[in-house]
Structure formats: structure tokens, C-alpha cells
Structure 1
């Protein structure tokens, strides 16, 4: 079986220069498979995209640090993510995916390895099971470590997830704003429902990421900018940004990471907003200790 490549060989150099200390707060590594095999349950089989590639991209794009989110192709074995953090010279932290039966000693080892959050995935095309009760148990156990929860879901299940989200006793970070429709515009039903969630729950943050996934218009993603700029301006202390490299499952619509970086000043239009988005906010979550 041929392995999937979902990233450009060499990203263009962005016009936008991030502020000193900027953090790509949502990216992944794949393998290398020979050293870190993929989960037998994986829904996709990517080519290797290891830490050396990630850090070379970081430097090319003008960023200083990374937050590496465990990719679903590796299941609950976080070895590839931990390996990348260990090779970063202190310039990376991570978000793990864990088995509900994980013990406290294993959580401690993840913390020592640079993990600062756990991810719960509710996308049926990526995972077979998303047990809310077991996820909530994990959330209660990681809260004393100062970790947060990252949640990936689509807009059509937001209302269904509300009781679960409200029961989480720590910071919650929603991936890609819960994937609202961009065709509805800046005042559309789905983004409005998501903003109500943020209004009512100050512990909920979001990643203003993935125009390549969410835009209905395609590059240069004007519909994404129109919808997302007001989110950044309304919640400046609760937004994060990341490339999503190496763009899992985007092999049919591969974005140029340099173009993604050039969206930043279009959604965060002042130097203050850019610094909060790229430096201050991710530092609070990942480098507070």
C-alpha cells in the first residue's frame, strides 16, 4: 500500500514575520514508522514526517517553538510525540492521547516528557469509540497536573457535547473552533453557537486554525478570515494558532504552510493580538512551569 503524503515538499517563505518566541501550537509528527509503528486501528497510513522535518519547517516559517499534538494514526502510544519533544532542545511541548486505564505513574512520566494536555477526538471518521464517561475520568485525573483538555468535534454535535464540556474541571481547548461552516458567514448559526459557548464558559479556549480544512472558497481563504477575525478580537486571551502540519488526511487539498502563516495578520490585525495569539496564550498553557 502506498503511504499518504499530505504536505508540500518545501513550504514557501511567508511574508509575515512572527514575533519573537512565536509558538506553532498545533502540529503533529508521523513516525518514523520503523521506530514508532502506527496503531493497528489507524484510519490512514501516512509517510514518515518526523521531528527533523517539523523543526526545519518551524525555522523556515519563523517560529521558535512547537506544541506537538498526538496524531490519531499513533493511537494511545505517545512514543513518537515524546521522541519529538525530547529532540527539540526544550522548544516543544505536547498533547497526548491516553488510554482510560492509564495509571498515575504513567501520567507523571508523560508530564516529565513534556506533555501538558490530553486530546479527546469525537470525529467518527478518525476514531471508533469516544466514551464520554471515561474521558471525564481522565480529565479529572489530569487537572491536578495543571494540564488541559483538547477536544476535536464537528459543529453538528456541539449541543450534544455541552453537558460533557461543562463537566470538565480544567481548561478546554477546542480544535479548529469545532469546525463551523464558513458558508454561513461571520454571523452564521454554527459560529454564533460556538461564540455563545465561549461567552458562557471562560475556561474554554479555541484554536483559530485550518483555513485549508474549513474554507468553502479555497485559497486565499477569504471566507475563513471573515468568520475568524471577530473570534480573535472577541476572545484575545483564549485563542491559539498552529499550522496543523503535516496536515492529516489533506492529501487531496495540500496547503502551503507559508500561505497559512500569512493568514495570521489577517485574523489578528494588531501586533498585540498577534503576540497574544502566538506567544502569550500558548506560553500560559504549555510553558508555565
Structure 2
């Protein structure tokens, strides 16, 4: 029996009793960005990982989705599992046709392995450019991966900081697949929503085949979860950014919880509150329907109803 690794010091576990959201998700709502960790005894973490998380397996994720009213999920490979996608694909298979997966793969992956991932429900790969989570992201290797997955009809999920977009956008624009950007490209929300940094990001989205996840206000916020005087909702400093993306690219936006919220250090969000954040950025019922149902269904379950 392998020895269990202790959690990274200061690691925050997921919220044990999330509130029932006041906002009722529409039928068929999709959590388009969530993860599973282990459980470690069944799915060991990668030796090269930069953190050791809590256990957060498929049964816990299913229980959360039941509480929130989520019908379908897109499970994104967690960096703690490296390129071993077993925990993720197991969770996707267990959900039947109500889940899809985003994998991490190496350039030398075989055609047979790609076909196996595709049969398991994987529909894309994630390219991570956050230096605190991965050592390097060599563009030659990523280009090779992109060329390998394009014939499968998959897409590429990009995780980067908005401050790094100027040095990355030409490379991103050269990739041969649709692109999905995590967490609005992690803008600096202390800067103006109409300022150069976020405007450049929106220009990049408009010029390419890019979908945007209006996710993780808890990661982007400076004001945090406490509601401020005169504001309707916590994470109020992130709302203008999400609202602008939804308004300008309403047919290419996605939402997700990011459960179990890896690598947060200041607070663990209430997932019910993250659902209640949705109507702050998607104000009308039409915007909400596209964000939560129509768009993710079009990208991950094309041709299917809810």
C-alpha cells in the first residue's frame, strides 16, 4: 500500500456546507469548469506536482451539483494529476453522457491513447501558462499537441494571466482549434474595465475563435466575499468585467464553479454564492440561458437537447 502524502501546508478544503442558491439554475445547466482530486488512495497524485490537495472525488462533485441544481459538467484535468487523466476520465465515464472532460497530454501521446480519451468523453486539452503551477510550456510541444487533436474536433483551454497576453496572443492565434479561456484571462480587476489591458483581451477574443469562461470571481477579486456598502453582491469588483464579456460575446461565454477550488489561500468560497453570482453578470434570462445551457451544450454536446 502506498503512503499517503500530507496536504500542502495551509491548504484550504472545499466548503463543507455550501448554501442553497437563491438563484435557480435553468434546467440543463452546465458547470463548465470543475475538477476532481483523487481520492489519493485510488488515483495517486503526480510525482512532479507542485501541491498536494485534499481528496475531492467524483461522488463529492456529484453531491455538490445536486445541491446547486447543476445537470451536466465539464471536468478539467487538475495539475496535481499531471498527464495521468485516469481520475478525470473515471469521473466523466461515471456520469454517463452528462459529463465531458478536458485532458492534459504530452506531445508523444499515441493515436490510440487519443482515441481512448475521445471515447471516454474528452473534448479538449488544457495549456497552462501559470508559472506557479507548471514549470514550462514550450510552444513547440504545444503546437504539436494542437496539430494532433485538431482532427478529433477538440479545442484548447488556455490558462494565463492577462498581463502575459501581449507575448502570447500571436501564438494563441496560430493554433488550429477553437480556444476556451479560463477565468476571463485573469484580468487585474483593480484596473479599469475599459482600460488597455482588458480591452486588449476583448480584442483578442473578437479576432479569434475564442470562448470565455466568466468564472472564479473568488480568484480575481480584491474586495473579496464580504458585501460592500452600496453593493448588491460580494466580489463586486469582478462584476463589471464579467458583465462586459457576457454583453459583448454572449454566444461564446461559459460558467463553472472551479470546485474544489485549488490553491486558494485567503478564503474558500461558498459554492451557492458562486451560483448567485451568475445573475450579476448575466442579467437577463436570455443571457443566463445562453451562458448556462445553450453555449456549453453547443460546444460539448453539439446536436443534443438538454
Q: Work out whether the TM-score is over 0.5.
A: yes
Q: Does 1:206 align with 2:212?
A: yes
2:192 to 185, 188, 193: 185
Distance 1:194 1:216 in 2: 20
Cα distance, 1:235 vs structure 2:
0.1
Maintained 8 Å contact 2:12/2:267: no
Maintained 8 Å contact 2:183/2:215: yes
- Pick which of 189-198 and 60-69 moved more: 189-198
Q: Which residue of 1 aligns with 2:240?
A: 226
Q: Which residue of 2 aligns with 1:93?
A: 100
Cα distance, 1:89 vs structure 2:
2.7
Distance 1:47 1:215 in 2: 24
Instruction: Give the 3-state SS of the residue equivalent to 1:254 in structure 2.
Output: coil
Aligned residues: 288
Q: Does 1:113 align with 2:117?
A: no
Alignment of 1:68-217 (within 5 A): 68-201=75-208, 203-217=209-223
Provide the aligned C-alpha RMSD in A.
Answer: 1.1
Maintained 8 Å contact 1:186/1:228: no
Distance 2:192 2:237 in 1: 7
Maintained 8 Å contact 1:240/1:277: yes
Distance 1:90 1:251 in 2: 34
Distance 2:86 2:266 in 1: 28
Structure 1 runs of 4+ with >3 Å offset: none
Distance 2:112 2:19 in 1: 43
Maintained 8 Å contact 2:34/2:257: yes
Q: Does 1:269 align with 2:283?
A: yes
Structure 2 residue runs without a partner (length 5+): 226-233
Instruction: Give the 3-state SS of the residue equivalent to 1:223 in structure 2.
Output: coil
Distance 2:162 2:96 in 1: 37
Alignment of 1:273-284 (within 5 A): 273-284=287-298
Structure 1 residue runs without a partner (length 5+): none
Maintained 8 Å contact 1:212/1:255: yes
TM-score norm. by structure 1 comes to 0.97
Instruction: Give the 3-state SS of the residue equivalent to 2:151 in structure 1.
Output: helix
